[in-house]
């Protein structure tokens, strides 16, 4: 791995003034780049069936672009709570905690200054990895407890990209972390080619949602609906939903999904310890981005949206003395 200067955040405001670096990882024909700003996965370069290499992650060439277009969370490390929390509040141990409502009436992806807007400390994690870390203080964006977080990006033998999350707290809190990469296996500069990608997800149910994309509590069967991806198919537009993975929570990553580009032959596989996966077809990109709506597909491994308000969902509560651990592996192949 090697690190290079990528830019500086402007001084003042909540973020302060910080230098941002870009770390490059290379192994077995795969090259990945990670920013210390927001833990952003800026690029992943992999070969197609003919050996032609292309970047398959939607990223921006300069820091200014990420600052100007925060809304899509391009490649960002999302927390302290990925996805939505209804009405920006949740109960925990008899207290009600109030969060910023930055997505209509709801809290989204940790708030306006979540983990995706912070500069992370970086250190080498072996020859082919980088460990990002930061401390989220008690009360940051309304969340209780100090949270010490580390996220390790590493290229495994064969070039698979592993993302390992770990966190501890000094007070009861909730945690749900993910990476928000958008994948276009035809190449990030290929326009809307991702619209022809085929998706497969090992999930017989999804979390039904209301008009604000908040779960109703129903785990709805996908059989016979447009949400059924148990056999690979092109999803079409209009997807921003959490799938209840058949495997549930596991100690080690289990294969759960696949994204396939029939033209280039590139195949992305997803294995995770998490119980859920959010499929988002990127129908709404900020004006000014060099990507068209539908230009990438996000496959966000996670716990379910609004779990802090749904005791029947897998718990996202973390208590002192416990260690939050999560791991997702993105594999690359050709067919």
Length, in residues, of the chain: 335
Q: Is the pLDDT of residue 106 over 80?
A: yes
- For all residues of the chain together, what is the average pLDDT? 96
236: which strand partners?
none
Q: Is the pLDDT of residue 335 over 50?
A: yes
With H, G, I as helix, E, B as strand and everything else as coil, classify residue 300. strand
Q: pLDDT band for position 13 (50/70/90)?
A: very low
300 belongs to the catalytic site: yes
Q: How far apart are CA 154 and CA 324, in angstroms?
A: 19
What tokens appear for 143 in the block? 């969340």
In the set 21, 109, 180, 239, the catalytic residue is: 180
Please give the domain boundaries of the chain with CATH numbers for all domains: 2-334 (2.70.98.10)
Q: What is the pLDDT of residues 54-75, one digit of tens each?
A: 999 999 999 999 999 999 999 9
What tokens appear for 193 in the block? 């080619």
What tokens appear for 113 in the block? 């200054």
Q: How far apart are CA 91 and CA 151, in angstroms?
A: 27
Q: pLDDT band for position 135 (50/70/90)?
A: very high
Q: How far apart are CA 48 and CA 9, in angstroms?
A: 36
* 248, 85, 82, 218: CA torsion to nearest 10: 30
Q: Which of 278, 285, 335, 265 is nearest to 58 (CA)?
A: 285
In the set 45, 140, 274, 300, the catalytic residue is: 300
Q: How far apart are CA 262 and CA 232, in angstroms?
A: 11
Q: Is the pLDDT of residue 12 over 80?
A: no
What is the percent of the chain with per-residue pLDDT over 70, rounded to a whole number?
Answer: 98
With H, G, I as helix, E, B as strand and everything else as coil, classify residue 242. strand
pTM value > 0.95: yes
Q: How far apart are CA 121 and CA 270, in angstroms?
A: 27
With H, G, I as helix, E, B as strand and everything else as coil, classify residue 65. helix
Q: pLDDT band for position 145 (50/70/90)?
A: very high
Q: Which of 45, 28, 56, 33 is nearest to 261 (CA)?
A: 56
DSSP designation for 309: G
Q: pLDDT band for position 124 (50/70/90)?
A: very high
Asked if residues 76 and 179 have their Cβ atoms less than 8 Å apart, the reply is yes
Q: Which residue bears the tokens 């920013």? A: 35
239 belongs to the catalytic site: no
Q: pLDDT band for position 10 (50/70/90)?
A: confident
Q: How far apart are CA 119 and CA 39, in angstroms?
A: 8
């Amino acid at each position: 791995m090697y690190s290079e200067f990528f830019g500086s955040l402007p001084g003042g405001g909540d973020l302060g003034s910080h230098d941002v670096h870009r770390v490059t990882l290379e192994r077995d024909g795969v090259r990945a780049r990670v920013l210390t700003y927001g833990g952003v996965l800026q690029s992943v370069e992999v070969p197609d069936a003919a050996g032609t290499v292309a970047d398959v992650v939607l990223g921006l060439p300069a820091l200014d672009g990420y600052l100007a277009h925060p809304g899509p969370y391009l490649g960002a490390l999302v927390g302290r709570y990925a996805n939505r929390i209804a009405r920006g509040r949740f109960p925990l141990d008899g207290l009600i905690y109030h969060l910023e409502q930055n997505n209509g009436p709801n809290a989204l992806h940790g708030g306006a200054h979540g983990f995706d807007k912070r500069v992370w400390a970086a250190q080498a994690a072996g020859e082919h990895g980088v460990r990002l870390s930061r401390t989220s203080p008690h009360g940051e964006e309304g969340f209780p407890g100090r949270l010490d977080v580390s996220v390790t990006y590493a290229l495994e033998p064969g070039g698979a990209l592993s993302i390992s999350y770990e966190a501890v707290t000094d007070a009861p809190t909730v945690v749900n972390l993910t990476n928000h990469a958008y994948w276009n296996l035809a190449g990030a500069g290929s326009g809307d080619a991702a619209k022809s990608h085929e998706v497969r997800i090992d999930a017989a149910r999804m979390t039904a949602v209301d008009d604000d994309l908040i779960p109703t509590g129903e785990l709805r069967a996908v059989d016979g609906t447009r949400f059924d991806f148990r056999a690979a198919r092109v999803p079409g537009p209009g997807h921003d939903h959490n799938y209840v993975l058949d495997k549930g929570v596991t100690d080690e990553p289990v294969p759960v999904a696949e994204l396939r580009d029939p033209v280039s032959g590139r195949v992305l596989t997803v294995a995770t310890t998490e119980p859920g996966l959010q499929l988002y077809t990127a129908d709404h990109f900020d004006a000014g981005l060099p990507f068209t709506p539908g230009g990438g597909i996000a496959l966000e491994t996670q716990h379910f949206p609004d779990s802090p308000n749904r005791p029947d969902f897998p718990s996202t509560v973390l208590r002192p003395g416990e260690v939050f651990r999560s791991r997702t592996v993105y594999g690359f192949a050709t067919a």
